[in-house]
Amino acid sequence: MQLNLPKSETTRFLTLLGLLVAVSFFAGLGSAPLFDVDEGAFSEATREMMVSKNYLTTWLNGAPRFDKPILIYWLQLLSVNLFGVNEFAFRLPSALAGTAWAASIFVVVRKVSGNRQAFLAAALMVLSLQVNVIAKAAIADALLNALLAITMFALFRHFETGSKRALYLAFAAAGFGMLTKGPIAVIIPVSVFFIFSLIEGELKKLVRASLSPWGIIIFLCIALPWYLLEYREQGMAFIEGFFFKHNISRFNTSFEGHSGSLFYYFPVLIIGLMPFTGLLFTVLFNLKKLFAERENRFLLIWFGFVFIFFSLSGTKLPHYVIYGYTPLFILMARALPLSRHPRLLALWPLMLLILLAFLPVLALTAMNYTDDLYLQTLFAEGITLTGTSHILVIIASLLGILAIEFLSRFAVADKLIATGVIFALIINIHLMPIAGKLLQEPVKEAALMARKAGYKIVMWEVYYPSFFVYSESFAERREPLPGEIALTTVKQLATLDTPALLYSKRGIVLVKIKQ
């Protein structure tokens, strides 16, 4: 059943949602240097595409890169052509995709549950910690999540109403998802709707939808041309690199050491959903009641499949579980009225803030438990960067959240959103700049120095693709020879024969090897 809602009310909630999006996704979008490895790799592949004018195959450091399909690189290339080669331009497509993702949640929930619940579900998504980070990252995941959400919502609408337009939209979104990150854009919708159809006794409806001639044509027209052209250009290297190495092997084995236990995603959920983690437990405590409704069953199956599928995968990365966050945010918004002790929801963000306040102490402790000179340097610099100002920011945030909890005229949902805004500001204005200065600023400065001096660099025992972006050059990854200039860390200095130090900051060094 669709609700008839006043346009003025809808406009007001959309305006508020737009403000939250601006705070979470766009504030400080280009302030921090590109983070390695992923942001550096995607951005450098886009830069090399711009230089080579090869708009079919992505290259990284002069070698073919088969990690992901082409769509995100095209969007980044368009952004770079409009705004220049800078962090803002590389990240803008993700911020826009995050905006579309939030809008899709609002539009779909609004039709069934009204403006307030739609706004709450979208706001939870926009202000949650992990989405806040992923929607500002120059990688493919924000775009994939937006397309997955559209695919799933459209398919469910087709199941409910028989709408052909919704079915064709689902096929189109899945086609663009296939161009964004490959088979996972199809595996999740097909698997979720198979389980849902099996439970609901509607397998025939799923078969008819899956075999829609026009839907298949739409999907193939969007996704197939690039795959065929890429295979024509790269041959079996593309099949082996993309399908076997970066898709099948990632599920069967641990890729590049990204492994974990079956319980890997439990702490990811607890941290990633901050400051709204308490609502996750509200959902879990009310599973039986929520599962009684058909739409909630679909949402629970969606989240459950993603969580179990990637828990069983050999390769585990924190952002994989986000593919199941969209239904979770909707369920969390619906479960809020079922919370017996809503004030306890504030305990989770308060605990995280207290933990953040102790970052200098934790860094000092960790520094005493490692012999790695580079890590010791990082911890020491981290203590310096998280000094008095850091403590004051955290204390102010703690007091702000506590003050919000004691405003009796505020609804629980309003308090949650206000807490989310505080968290988004902490991340964008305080924590991200610190992380950028600590981890990436030295890499960027070393790259700019190398570009200005015309150095030919060798990377030794490090891998920073962002260095290629800023230096506008390639680098071999091997042990440096006499007379060469190497990018490495202070940890490796002791193994070199009296190197000449050209640059040193926060453990990152440029050195010239003795002739």
Q: What is the pLDDT along the chain (515 residues), one digit of tens a residue?
A: 556 566 778 889 999 999 999 999 998 898 899 998 899 999 999 999 999 999 999 999 988 888 889 999 999 999 999 999 999 999 999 999 999 999 999 999 998 888 999 999 999 999 999 999 999 999 999 999 999 999 999 999 999 999 999 999 999 999 999 999 999 999 999 999 999 999 999 999 999 999 999 999 999 999 999 999 998 998 888 888 777 776 676 666 666 656 677 888 999 999 999 999 999 999 999 999 999 999 999 999 999 999 999 999 888 888 899 999 999 999 999 999 998 888 889 899 999 999 999 988 888 898 888 888 899 999 999 898 888 889 999 999 999 999 988 877 788 899 999 999 999 999 999 999 999 999 999 999 999 999 999 999 999 999 999 999 999 999 999 889 888 999 999 998 888 877 889 999 999 999 998 87
> What is the phi/psi pair of residue 512, to 5°?
-105, 125
The distance in angstroms from the start CA to the end CA of the chain is 78
pLDDT value at position 444? 96
For helices 164-181 and 184-200, the axis angle rounded to 10 degrees is: 140
What is the distance between the alpha carbons of residues 370 and 383, in angstroms, rounded to a whole number? Answer: 16
In sequence order, the 6+-apart residues with CB closer than 8 A to the CB of 229 are: 56
User: How do strand 485-489 and strand 457-459 relate by DSSP bridges?
Assistant: parallel
pLDDT value at position 58? 92
User: How do strand 485-489 and strand 508-512 relate by DSSP bridges?
Assistant: antiparallel
Residue 18: C-alpha distances to residues 26, 49, 100, 119 (Å): 11, 33, 11, 10
pLDDT value at position 325? 96
Burial of 225 (0-12, 13-18, 19+ CB in 10 A): exposed
What is the distance between the alpha carbons of residues 271 and 222, in angstroms, rounded to a whole number? Answer: 36
Residue 502: C-alpha distances to residues 260, 470, 485, 488, 512 (Å): 39, 17, 9, 12, 7
Query: Which of 402, 398, 403, 322 is CA-nearest to residue 356?
Result: 398
C-alpha neighbours within 13 Å on the C-beta side of residue 370: 16
Q: What's CA 38's distance to the chain center, in Å? A: 10
What is the distance between the alpha carbons of residues 413 and 399, in angstroms, rounded to a whole number? Answer: 19
pLDDT value at position 3? 60
> What is the phi/psi pair of residue 68, to 5°?
-135, 155
Beta pairing partners, 501: 511
3-state secondary structure of 53: coil
Query: Which of 378, 323, 352 is CA-nearest to residue 491?
Result: 378
pLDDT value at position 158? 95
pTM of the model: 0.93
